[in-house]
Amino acid sequence: MRREGAVVATVVLIGALMYLVPAAMIFGPELVDGSANASDINTPNTSQETRLAFTDVAKNRSLSYEAVRKLNGTQGTMGRSGVYVTDYNGDLRGDVLLVGGKRPMLFRNTGDKFVHSNALPALNDSAVYRSALFVDYNNDGREDLVLNPMHGEPILLHNNGDSFVPQPDAFDARIEVPVAVTAADYNGDGCTDIFVTQNGDWIHSRPARIQPNQTTDNGKPNFLFRGTCTSSFERVTDAGLDGAHWSLSASFVDFTGDGKPDVHVANDFHHDILYVNQGDGTFSSREIPNTNRNGMASEVDDVDGDGDMDIFVSNIYWTRDIRSRLDSLGVITSGSIGNNLLINDGDGNFTDQASEWGSGTVGGGGRRCWKT
């Protein structure tokens, strides 16, 4: 997420941040009215509203992490914190990785609580780790880990079952603002490939497309790394995935039903982009119409149960008075209409049905924004 104009901004992630972790991990969701069933989930505008209650038990489960950042002046910026879940040690319990503080921290799930794990190696404390991905890069059945520091090369950590071991020189590329990372086998060679998307340089620039009549963008480019099934990844620059937007989220999924993974990127200050896998090592780019200009995060699932992948994108929702003030400054706000629920027709063509499904805004009257 981004923030501008704050004199001092402080972000603290302690127990409450665990609201972001899937319910099966540390929450026990309850149906408050007791009347809903699983079939309601795939039906828009059900007559009986399903209400879930969550209890924050992070403190009781010994799960505590702090990420504090202070911003002075009017510098624009974005959040640096993230929560990642996997079973790294094969005990069938989801463990939790947290980034954004002084250093990444891994918590092992014992079944009734979390304990700080020593499985991570010593890391450079001066680096700011912006994103991470658990992925089995060498097909040995264990989830390895990619850590993305800002202004540096991605770090590959091999999971040997009880600890993570650094793999030197796995990625030969410096990435400035790696906000999101995802993986798939895009070329069908059996090896996992990795896609990293970037935001922009808030220190030395501002988004070009924040102003009207701008046809080009000035974000940082995406990175595609071809996997070799070993601890070495090769950068690919001719696949048509470079981009140049102020991106914040990405998914590597087959959206067109041809068995080849495509890439969806949620952008700030721009429409979302679908990169369609052509099957020859390249991708064609489609701008998704009617998508918001303030994409913060995205999640993929078959929402309507028709067998293809749909996309939910959380967006900033500007209130009427804020839109008026921004319009007076020449800032584009016409696309700021809330979240998008992009329903797929099976061929990678999407229709926004957030209003029909009741997921467009959070809070009464659209007076709150949904930022993930």
Dihedral angle of Cα 356, 358, 363, 367, to the nearest 10 degrees: -20
Q: Is 110 helix (H, G, I), strand (E, B) or coil?
A: coil
The pLDDT value recorded for residue 45 is 53
Structure tokens, 314 = 């959380």
Predicted local distance difference test score (pLDDT) of residue 355: 80
Residue 347 CA, chain-centre distance (Å), reads 23
Please, what is the average pLDDT of the chain? 81
**Furthest-apart CA atoms within the chain: distance in Å:** 57
Tens of pLDDT, residue by residue over 286-327, are 999 888 678 888 999 999 999 999 999 988 776 777 767 766
**pLDDT of 202:** 81
Give the per-residue pLDDT at 48.
Answer: 56
Selected residue with higher pLDDT from 291 and 10: 291
For 323-328, the CB contacts below 8 A with 24+ separation are none
Instruction: Say whether pLDDT at 187 is over 70.
Output: yes
Question: Could you give the C-alpha distances from 291 to 68, 266, 285, in angstroms and in order?
Answer: 32, 9, 15
| Rounded distance between C-alpha atoms, residue 313 and residue 360, angstroms | 10
The per-residue pLDDT for range 339-360, each reduced to its tens digit, is: 889 999 999 999 988 888 877 6
The predicted pLDDT at position 67 comes to 77
How many whole angstroms separate alpha carbon 275 and alpha carbon 283? 6
pLDDT for 131: 94
| Lowest-confidence segment of 2-11, 35-44, 161-170, 360-369 by average pLDDT | 2-11
DSSP state of 195: E
The CA radius of gyration of the chain, in Å to the nearest whole number, is 21
Residue 197: predicted pLDDT = 95
* Per-residue pLDDT reduced to its tens digit, 163-186: 999 999 999 899 999 999 999 999
Rounded Cα distance, 36 and 48, in Å: 7
Helix, strand, or coil here: 366? helix
Q: Which of 247, 371, 272 is nearest to 317 (CA)?
A: 371
CATH number assigned to the domain covering 2-40+53-366 = 2.130.10
What confidence tens digit (pLDDT) does each residue in 211-270 have?
Answer: 666 677 878 999 999 999 999 999 999 999 988 899 999 999 999 999 999 999 999 888
Q: How far is CA 163 from CA 91, 144, 319, in A?
A: 14, 10, 48
Buried b (16+ CB within 10 A) or exposed e, 315-326: bbbbeeeeeeee
Between 307 and 338, whose confidence is greater?
A: 307
